[in-house]
Amino acid sequence: MVSIPHVLSGISIILLVIYGSDVIAGGGGAGDGFLPFDAMTRGIAFGFPPIILSFIAFFISKKPPFKGLGIMLIVTGVLIIIGGVMSMASSGESENAARMAGEGGGLIAVGVIIAALGGIKIKKALQIK
């Protein structure tokens, strides 16, 4: 069953895949990928909305329990964690290393929270059956 929370979570995953693909295509550099954005604009446009959409998807999906949504939230969390790890790994090459490492750590924390919310959804779905 496809519902609004599933759609929101799907949009989150798509945005994160586009974001990650652009970073990989451009080697992490600003404006070097296929999107004509600098790193900050790319993060605001393609990184921040998936975080918000994931929280909205979790909190608006009360009944019935959605096991599929839980899996999608875990995928979103893992993609955010990967982005945080990549940010921290690339921070050593930048003049703003401390700021980028802090942002990477923050992303990892947010990714863990979203993945945990997905785990909660799965656990609730399995308890109902």
Tens-digit pLDDT string for the chain (129 aa): 678 999 999 999 999 999 888 888 876 555 567 888 777 888 888 889 999 999 999 999 877 777 899 999 999 999 999 988 887 777 665 566 666 667 778 899 999 999 999 999 999 888 865
To the nearest 10 degrees (0 to 180), the angle between helices 39-46 and 48-60 is: 10
- How many structural domains are present in the chain? 1
Q: How far is CA 16 from CA 41, 54, 104, in A?
A: 14, 12, 15
- Predicted pLDDT of residue 115: 97
* pLDDT of amino acid 93: 58
Q: Pick from 33, 126, 127, 22: which is nearest to 71 by CA?
A: 126
Residue 61 to residues 65, 83, 101, 118, Cα–Cα distance (Å): 7, 26, 34, 12
Distance CA 88, CA 70 (A): 27
pLDDT at 5: 93
How high is the pLDDT of residue 91?
61
Largest CA distance in the chain: 53
Structural domain containing residue 9: 4-128
Assigned token pair, 111: 């990714």
Please report, to the nearest 10 degrees, the dihedral formed by the alpha carbons of residues 74, 22, 90, 105 taken in order.
Answer: -30
